[in-house]
Amino acid sequence: MLSVNSLTKNFPLEEGSVCAVDSLSFSVDGSEVYGLLGPNGAGKTTTLRMILGLLEPDAGHASVQGRQTGLDPIGVKELLGFVSASDGVYPWLTVREMLLYFGDLYGVDPVVARDRCEELSSLMGIYDLLDRRAGGLSTGQRQRVTLVRGLIHDPPVMLLDEPTRGLDVVGVQTIFEYIGHLRDRGKAVVVCTHRLDEAERLCDRFGLLHEGSLSYEGTMMELRSATGCEHLVEMFVGLLQGGHHETT
Amino acid sequence: MKQPNQCDGEEIEGQTMKGGPGHGPKRIRRVLRVGRLYRKELRETMRDRRTVITLVLMPLLLYPILSMALNRFLLSSSGDVETGYTVCVATPSESDALLRLLSDPRSQPPSEIVESRGGEIADFRLGLSRAENAELAVEANEADVGAKITVAPNGMNVITLYAHRGDAASETARQILAERLQWFKLAEANLVLQAAVPRYRSPIDVLVQDVGTPKQSNLLATLVPLVLVLMTITGAVYPAIDLTAGERERGTLEAVMASPVSRFSVLVSKYFAVMTVAFLTAVANLFAMFTTLWASGLLALFQEEASPPIWMVLPMLALLVLFSSFFSAVLLALTSYARSFKEAQAYLIPVMLLSLGPAMVSLVPGIGLDGLMAVVPLINIVLLARDLLSGSIDLGSASIAIVSTLSYAAAALAIASKLFGGDAVMRTSSQTALSLLKRPRRRSDHPSHSSAVLLLALLVPFYFIVSNGLMQFLRNFGDVVSVEVQLGLNALGLVLTFGMLPLLATIWERCKIQTTYRLSGFNVLALLGSAFLGLGCWAIAHEAFVIADALGIGGLSETQIENAQSMIVKMQQAPVILLLLVFAVCPAVIEELCFRGYLFSAFTKQLQPWRLIVITSLLFGLFHVLTGSTLLVERFIPSTLMGLVIGWVAYRTGSVLPGMLIHLVHNGLLNLVLHYSEELSFLGEGFDDQTHLPAAWLAACLFLIFAGTLLVHFGTRLRGEDDLVSVSEQLGSNSGDPELL
């Protein structure tokens, strides 16, 4: 469903350049939750931005259901739902107005968008906030609104960048349940996070990013046998200390 | 995979030329969607208290305060005729003496002077100084002027008049008082003179008379454009920043850019929201300004009649739309580049200050909306506003100012669409303003529509300057320079504008020359049909000229027509081959490459075929109207009609070449007929611009057009009726098709 092929991105510096993503390749099928994991600055967000067409890769390409981002950016964006790490909202609009605006941006019929907005808001526990001004929401409430925003057009592929940032335990649990629900509905989900314990519970497969390239990739079992470590945290510590590179 | 609940998003490459069923509703839905996006932007802006302050509170408070200050200034600077001036003296005896002098009729100015001042005589009220010192009283602002009467040793009364240095009202009062005393002295001297020399007569007598109608003051026409510039910018600044840099700062920009809607659509919705707020702010300010002036009676100072000029409302609103459209686009281009609210403010403050310079031009007498001024950004609309308000507008210059301003707005919007949401504002980027000039890394088949808009916006002033410069040169050096050189310059002007600019844009954007200029193959039948159309269309163009002339549609004066005719006579002295090269081959190649080549391919994805043909034809017609500083309005209809015919052929054939042939045959034929008009006189009347063609000629030409149309239609039908519309695209990528030459 989602395929990333040799994506590379360098950012120019005053002197030279820095390689944010280096020949990154992975794929995610339907009904699969893929954890793109790594410490801060590993290249997770840059990868998502290249998939979305917000950044032009220096090499390689991403494609969704056979459509390449570089060749058909609008078509690819229609297939993607994106929850960014930023929980920015329009402070002077109500939550409902903001969600319907994003429905419009995604070309969702206004009547359908209204129903979907209410349905998703109920699921995320923000129904009562729909007619409240978005500027007055708490961080956790904003994060839930951001998630509903990314789901408003019911996309087949979801890209979630730090979806549980700022949420309490109940909030995290709600998000996890919904991601599980998305998996059951056949969606392909990419979750970027540096909270490895959460990822371990949530994802089916993992890609461990370090300095822009994929150090390990596979299911939890495969990663355990490849690294000899039990948990993702230990794998990462080993990775940061040893710089081991292997994909399974 | 398109989701079942989704409306149609943006056009996908290759679909636009297929004008099948359902295309219209899809486009309407898209327009409606942009309308909804606009509503969201406007709603968000209007709810913000900062907008409310700019839009409502500022006009409500600013103008009453300003009018009070103005009132005070006027009172202190020009004095009050009704209450008069106050004169202060030290003692009652001085007061009595001065009062006697001032109430004596001999101290009044002669009737001629009173009449020339509108019958007003300044009134002086006398008072005693509290400090018993006239000089100190003036210094302490107790009176406008002080007077001290002393007696000289020779017995003469010496009156010293004191005024406060630098106080205009005080100095004026002293001047008038001194004059009054001088009139008294003169009248006294006259009496003595007449008694001594009874036969003495003054060598001159003065009479005062008024002529003409009272002149309206231009002060309002001078000040209002300045206010409009300031207020439109003030209104546009906050929403422009908030909807672009503010969007980035809030963290919503990334989510918007991740949605399947083009940057341009998002930006257009923001542009109209900014424009609406700028327009409303300017209207609110103008309304508050006029109401305050009217209510405070200050309007009388600006105009003879103390009532708001009602007739001005509609043109003023149109002007406000023009101002708002220009400033909103310029401000959006700047704020789209900014990464934060503060950065945007830092960009806009210098722009606001710099705008005051051109805006002040309206205050400078002697500068008019003509020549280069008509295309200088900002100055042209300020002068346009001034001329409109003073009722001395020239339609030709006004049209050029409006068209060029709208072009600049479009260019600014095109720049904004390149900057908004691009790499330059994404948080991981370190790109700079130069990223705007960054060449694309990949080669493309067609230029982008935003580049084409930018090109069109540049073409207007560039073409205006080149054609104006050429006209000036011919006017000044026409007698010195040979006809051949003049013709060469004419061709060079065309190459520099319609040839060079699109070519530079094509190279810069790394577009493929063949597909950009649609240089692909063509069909034999279509080519033959094009030749027929070229042979027949000149008659329609000629008839359109004659009809336009009969309807009085024309921008040329008798003198200009005479000049043009003498120039034509002069041009005919050149070899016919040179004439054909300059007036037939050159326009056919250069103009077709620009209009049916570059512009056609740039807007192919955005416009339905019929819209593409109509819009490029209108542009073709409009550029033929702009000739130097003259608007040749009569050229619009024939040129647009030709544009429609050539556009249709270019669309059917998918190539620019048949259109070139039509253009070449059409222009060549007209030039040959003009060159050999004497030899062709045996053919009868109808070969000048004022008379209709003979019926037989008209019928023959109509037959040629009919035959040409059929040939082009059937020649391009080989691919099947439904598929014809995509011929152009197929030709672009498949010039070796066996069915095509």
* Chain B contact set for A88 (CB, 8 A): 250-255
Closest by Cα among B338, B425, B419, B429 to A13: B429
* Chain A contact set for B2 (CB, 8 A): 78
Burial of B358 (C-beta count, 10 Å sphere; 0-12/13-18/19+): middle
Q: What is the pLDDT of residue B690?
A: 55
Q: What percent of chain B has pLDDT over 70?
A: 79
HSE-up of B434 (CA within 13 Å, CB side)?
Answer: 2
Q: What is the pLDDT of residue B720?
A: 43
Q: Could you tell me which chain B residue has the CA closest to the CA of A159?
A: B258
**Cβ-contact B329, B244 below 8 angstroms:** no
> What gap in Å lies between CA B345 and CA B360, rounded to an integer?
23
User: Is A79 part of the contact surface with chain B (CB cutoff 8 Å)?
Assistant: yes
Mean pLDDT confidence for B239-263 = 85
The DSSP 8-state label assigned to residue A97 in this structure reads H
Q: Could you tell me which chain A residue has the CA closest to the CA of B250?
A: A88
Q: Which structural domain range is residue A79 located in? A: 2-242
* Of the listed ranges B54-58, B112-116, B571-575, B683-687, the one predicted with least confidence: B683-687
Q: Best residue in B48, B252, B261, B423 to probe A by mutation, most A CBs within 10 Å?
A: B252
In a domain, B355, yes or no: no
Mean pLDDT confidence for B368-391 = 80
Measured between CA atoms, how close is A234 to chain B, in angstroms? 29
Measured between CA atoms, how close is B417 to chain A, in angstroms? 14
3-state secondary structure of B164: coil
Mean pLDDT confidence for B244-259 = 85
Instruction: Tally A–B CB contacts below 8 A.
Output: 126
> What gap in Å lies between CA B601 and CA B597, rounded to an integer?
6
| Separation of CA B348 from chain center | 22
Distances (CA, A) of B211 to B208, B214, B215, B301: 10, 9, 11, 22
Mean pLDDT confidence for A34-58 = 87
Residue of A82 and B224 predicted with greater confidence: A82
* Of the listed ranges B205-214, B337-346, B549-558, B659-668, the one predicted with least confidence: B549-558
Q: What is the pLDDT of residue B474?
A: 75
In a domain, A47, yes or no: yes
Closest by Cα among B645, B592, B649, B584 to B623: B592
A 163-222 residues inside an 8 A Cβ radius of B? none
Q: What is the pLDDT of residue B368?
A: 76
Contact A55 B3 (CB under 8 A): no
Which one-letter amino acid corresponds to residue B456? L
Which one-letter amino acid corresponds to residue B117? R
Distances (CA, A) of B467 to B186, B493, B496: 65, 7, 10
> What gap in Å lies between CA B704 and CA B532, rounded to an integer?
5
Q: Which helix (H) or strand (E) holds A24?
A: strand A17-28
- Write b or e for each residue in B99-129: b if 16 or more Cβ atoms lie within 10 A of its Cβ, otherwise e: eebbeeeebbbeeeeeeeeeeeebebebebb
In a domain, A247, yes or no: no
Final residue before a domain boundary, out of B180, B196, B212: B196
| Reported confidence tier of residue B75, pLDDT bands at 50, 70, 90 | low
Q: What is the pLDDT of residue B697?
A: 80
* Chain B contact set for A55 (CB, 8 A): 423, 426, 428-429
Distances (CA, A) of B643 to B616, B651, B666, B704: 7, 12, 12, 18
* Of the listed ranges A53-62, A168-177, B316-325, the one predicted with least confidence: A168-177
Query: A173-232: per-residue pLDDT in tens?
Result: 888 888 888 888 889 999 988 778 888 888 899 988 888 888 888 888 888 888 888 888
Nearest by CB to B1, which of A65, A77, A87? A65
| Reported confidence tier of residue B10, pLDDT bands at 50, 70, 90 | very low
Contact B37 A104 (CB under 8 A): yes
User: Is A115 part of the contact surface with chain B (CB cutoff 8 Å)?
Assistant: no
Measured between CA atoms, how close is B344 to chain A, in angstroms? 19
Q: The CATH number of the domain where A25 resides is what?
A: 3.40.50.300
Q: Give the mean pLDDT of chain B.
A: 78
Interior CA angle at A126 toward A122 and A132, to 5°?
130
> What gap in Å lies between CA B112 and CA B278, rounded to an integer?
52
Interior CA angle at B330 toward B328 and B334, to 5°?
110
Q: What is the pLDDT of residue B274?
A: 92
Query: B494-544: per-residue pLDDT in tens?
Result: 898 899 989 998 988 888 888 899 887 767 888 888 888 888 887 887 787
In a domain, A46, yes or no: yes
Final residue before a domain boundary, out of B146, B166, B196: B196
Q: Tokens for B143? A: 């009176």
Q: Could you tell me which chain B residue has the CA closest to the CA of A94?
A: B44
A 1-20 residues inside an 8 A Cβ radius of B? 11-13, 20
In a domain, A161, yes or no: yes
DSSP assignment of B268-325: HHHHHHHHHHHHHHHHHHHHHHHHHHHHTTTHHHHSSSSS--GGGHHHHHHHHHHHHH
Contact A20 B428 (CB under 8 A): yes
* Of the listed ranges A128-132, B1-5, B317-321, B651-655, the one predicted with least confidence: B1-5
**Cβ-contact B235, B281 below 8 angstroms:** yes
Residue of B294 and B106 predicted with greater confidence: B106
User: Is A102 part of the contact surface with chain B (CB cutoff 8 Å)?
Assistant: yes
Q: What is the pLDDT of residue B225?
A: 80
Q: Any idea which residue has 């329009």 for tokens?
A: A90
Beta strands in A51-94 (DSSP E): 59-64, 67-68, 80-83
pLDDT > 50? residue B586 = yes
Q: Which structural domain range is residue B652 located in? A: 467-741
Contact A74 B9 (CB under 8 A): yes
pLDDT > 80? residue B256 = yes
Please compute Rg for chain B using Cα positions.
Answer: 36
User: Is A143 part of the contact surface with chain B (CB cutoff 8 Å)?
Assistant: no
Q: What percent of chain B has pLDDT over 90?
A: 9
Contact A90 B250 (CB under 8 A): yes
pLDDT > 60? residue B31 = yes
Measured between CA atoms, how close is A78 to chain B, in angstroms? 5
Query: B626-676: per-residue pLDDT in tens?
Result: 766 566 777 788 888 889 999 999 988 888 999 999 999 988 888 887 777
In a domain, B255, yes or no: no
* Chain A contact set for B256 (CB, 8 A): 105
DSSP assignment of B394-422: -HHHHHHHHHHHHHHHHHHHHHHHHHTTS
pLDDT > 90? residue B162 = yes
Q: What is the pLDDT of residue B1?
A: 40
Beta strands in B313-406 (DSSP E): none
Contact A105 B428 (CB under 8 A): no
Q: Tokens for A208? A: 């461990």
* Of the listed ranges B16-30, B312-326, B570-584, the one predicted with least confidence: B16-30
Contact B37 A101 (CB under 8 A): yes
Contact A104 B250 (CB under 8 A): no
Give the count of beta carbons closer than 10 Å to the beta carbon of residue B447: 25
Chain B residues contacting A via beta carbons under 8 Å: 1-3, 5-10, 12-13, 33, 36-37, 40, 43-45, 47-48, 250-262, 266, 423, 426, 428-431
**Cβ-contact B87, B174 below 8 angstroms:** no
Residue of A14 and A199 predicted with greater confidence: A199
In a domain, B230, yes or no: no
Closest by Cα among B456, B458, B595 to B517: B595
Q: Could you tell me which chain B residue has the CA closest to the CA of A87?
A: B251
Distances (CA, A) of A71 to A4, A66, B511: 14, 11, 16
Number of domains in chain A: 1
| Reported confidence tier of residue B210, pLDDT bands at 50, 70, 90 | confident
Contact A153 B256 (CB under 8 A): no
Measured between CA atoms, how close is B594 to chain A, in angstroms? 27
Contact B9 A109 (CB under 8 A): no
Q: What is the pLDDT of residue B630?
A: 63
Measured between CA atoms, how close is B443 to chain A, in angstroms? 13
Measured between CA atoms, how close is A84 to chain B, in angstroms? 7
**Cβ-contact B653, B739 below 8 angstroms:** no
Q: The CATH number of the domain where B176 resides is what?
A: 3.40.190
Mean pLDDT confidence for B571-581 = 83
Q: Tokens for B682? A: 């045996």
Q: Tokens for B144? A: 């406008």
Number of domains in chain B: 2
Query: B602-614: per-residue pLDDT in tens?
Result: 888 777 888 889 9
Contact A84 B255 (CB under 8 A): yes
Mean pLDDT confidence for B343-359 = 79
Contact A86 B251 (CB under 8 A): yes
**Cβ-contact A33, A195 below 8 angstroms:** no
Measured between CA atoms, how close is B425 to chain A, in angstroms? 11
Final residue before a domain boundary, out of B196, B211, B234: B196
Q: What is the pLDDT of residue A242?
A: 65
Give the count of beta carbons closer than 10 Å to the beta carbon of residue A190: 26
* Chain A contact set for B253 (CB, 8 A): 88
Mean pLDDT confidence for B482-494 = 84
> What gap in Å lies between CA A222 and CA A229, rounded to an integer?
11
Q: What is the pLDDT of residue A95?
A: 93
Interface confidence, given as ipTM, is 0.89
Q: What is the pLDDT of residue B688?
A: 53
Contact B259 A55 (CB under 8 A): no
Mean pLDDT confidence for A128-133 = 90
In a domain, A214, yes or no: yes
* Chain B contact set for A92 (CB, 8 A): 43-45, 47-48
**Cβ-contact A145, A95 below 8 angstroms:** yes
Contact B44 A46 (CB under 8 A): no
Phi, psi of A174, deg, nearest 5: -60, -45
Contact A90 B254 (CB under 8 A): no
**Cβ-contact B554, B634 below 8 angstroms:** yes
Measured between CA atoms, how close is A230 to chain B, in angstroms? 34
pLDDT > 70? residue B61 = yes
* Chain A contact set for B47 (CB, 8 A): 92-93
> What gap in Å lies between CA A83 and CA A182, rounded to an integer?
14
Q: Could you tell me which chain A residue has the CA closest to the CA of B430?
A: A12
Q: Could you tell me which chain B residue has the CA closest to the CA of A84?
A: B255
**Cβ-contact A160, A182 below 8 angstroms:** no
Q: What is the pLDDT of residue B25?
A: 66
